[in-house]
Structure 1
Amino acid sequence: MVLDAPPATERIARVGYDYVVLDGQHGLLSARGILDGLLAIDAAATDTVGLVRVEANNATPIGRALDAGAAGVIVPLIDTADDAARAVAAARYPPAGIRSYGPTRSGLRIGPTPADADAATVVLAMIETRSALENVAEICATPGLDGIYVGPSDLCLAVGGKYPGDPDVADVFEAAITRIAKVAADAGVAAGIHTKNGDTAKRRLSEGYTFATVSSDLDHLQSIAADHLATIGLTNRREPGDPAY
């Protein structure tokens, strides 16, 4: 979810997904927006949990997301095993990590005993840079890391693409995607990936990924609106003032 729209988040959480990700890195969400999104996911009264892609590999946004009630964090721009270890430490209470004890809302549903919270909190490291691809085995071996999460747009750029989805690097991109899933499986950690639609998600799961995010709220909205227009034969964009607007 990239929009600060709790009713929309609640609707998505009721559809049947295992999790909903609130995007604190590229999304239009403030700290309050993340809190409201997590409240909306819980209000959906399903088994869906809320994850947060935090803005940076830093103890402050990681701790804030977890204190707000996130079941786990997706941490961007992880390049090395040391980066992954810092992310894990930021999400774990002492002595396992450096998370400050102030569970605020999370204590109502995760923990609040530090050891219980540590056991229930998921930490995922994003694999999206050239360095991360080179170091993926070491990253996956990081103690306490629950899994990895592929950012395909940045990964495509990292392998030489001029833009996300560049067909000129399709073969090397697919090879990287395959390798990442295998390395994660060999290390015994989960492998997730963002996908643009259900067909792509199904294919990635068949290729060994253990979970896949399907699109985003904005893309869902645009896709369904376009489908409705196509159904009634209005496939061209209309401008105000156009007789058919």
Structure 2
Amino acid sequence: MSEFDPTEQTQAPRVGAWVTLDAIVATEQIARAGFDYVCVDGQHGLLGYDAQVRALVAISAGGAVPFARVSTNSAAEIGRVLDAGARGVIVPLIDSADEAREAAQAARYPTSGGRRSYGPMRLGPHFGTTPEETDAAVTVLVMIETASGLADLEAILDVDGVDGVYVGPYDLSLALGARVPFEDAILPRLDAELERVVAAATARGKIAGVHCADGSQAALRAEQGFTFITAATDVSSLRADMVMQLSAARGTARDPARTRTY
């Protein structure tokens, strides 16, 4: 059973971190900080496949559950990150239930109705003794970040093998008509749509995930009902802390939030 069983509605929200840099020691230390999961970003992150493999090993060594966001809904790419040790996969830019079904099938073996190729390069806790056991431990989240995906939300959540959705609020705010992410005029509608995502996922016993800029925003999303929440990103946290320390040394005031872009 996946460590992120969406049917466990009584558990506290799972809080994670996001890795975009090829820095294996830093990634291990992030995993040791106590996050429930750490996700390696293969879409907007600055990591090639070799770096993703190193990052997934480091996350496992640090004690967090390793996730990976792939760059596209590709069966080959989904299979590679799972072979490399990811326990969960996040698939971006899903526009329809058919696309969500493709992602779910790519993450599971034919014995479970999928089409993942069997190649256990990294034997370990992410591989069961049978393909079916391995499949049961994999979490598949598809991203809701386009107008089409939002319109097909309920059908996407109804797809067998999709464990939940993960909202990309930056892209979603643009899809809703903002000229820049989180434009003030769009925020009421964005919040309403986020509440709709939570309600639809909860009603189906599935994961409601969301990406956040920082821990304060993550706490608000937890109150809103999200159950899988990214609270920090390596490059933004690094930049924010460096600005804060420099400001303290010089005796100047800076708002760390202004340094967080993702």
Q: Deviations over 1:209-241 (max 9, x none)?
A: 0021013100000111111122232458xxxxx
1:183 pairs, out of 186, 191, 200, with 200
Q: Is the 8 A contact 1:66 1:103 kept in 2?
A: no
Secondary structure of 1:73's aligned partner: strand
What is residue 240 of structure 2 aligned with on the other side? Answer: 223
Q: Deviations over 1:13-39 (max 9, x none)?
A: 000000001000010111101100011
1:43 aligns with 2:61: yes
1:117 aligns with 2:117: no
CA distance in 2, matches of 1:138, 1:230: 49
What amino acid is the match of 1:94? P
What is residue 243 of structure 1 aligned with on the other side? Answer: none
- Structure 2: 5+ residue stretches without partners: 1-18, 255-262
Count, aligned residues? 233
What is residue 4 of structure 1 aligned with on the other side? Answer: 22
2:35 pairs, out of 17, 30, 47, with 17
CA distance in 2, matches of 1:196, 1:41: 21
1:79-228 pair list within 5 angstroms: 79-95=95-111, 96-105=113-122, 107-112=123-128, 113-228=130-245
Secondary structure of 1:27's aligned partner: coil
- Give the superposed CA RMSD: 1.1
Q: Deviations over 1:119-149 (max 9, x none)?
A: 0001000000000111101111111111110
1:30 aligns with 2:48: yes
What is residue 68 of structure 1 aligned with on the other side? Answer: 84
CA distance in 2, matches of 1:31, 1:12: 20
Secondary structure of 1:108's aligned partner: coil
- Structure 1: 5+ residue stretches without partners: 237-245
**TM-score, structure 2 length as denominator?**
0.87
Q: Is the 8 A contact 1:110 1:116 kept in 2?
A: no
CA distance in 2, matches of 1:220, 1:230: 15
Secondary structure of 1:20's aligned partner: strand
CA distance in 1, matches of 2:193, 2:79: 31
User: Could you say which structure has the larger radius of gyration?
Assistant: 1
What amino acid is the match of 2:78? I
CA distance in 2, matches of 1:42, 1:211: 19
Structure 1 outlier segments of 4+, above 3 Å: none
CA distance in 1, matches of 2:35, 2:211: 14
Paired-residue identity, %: 45
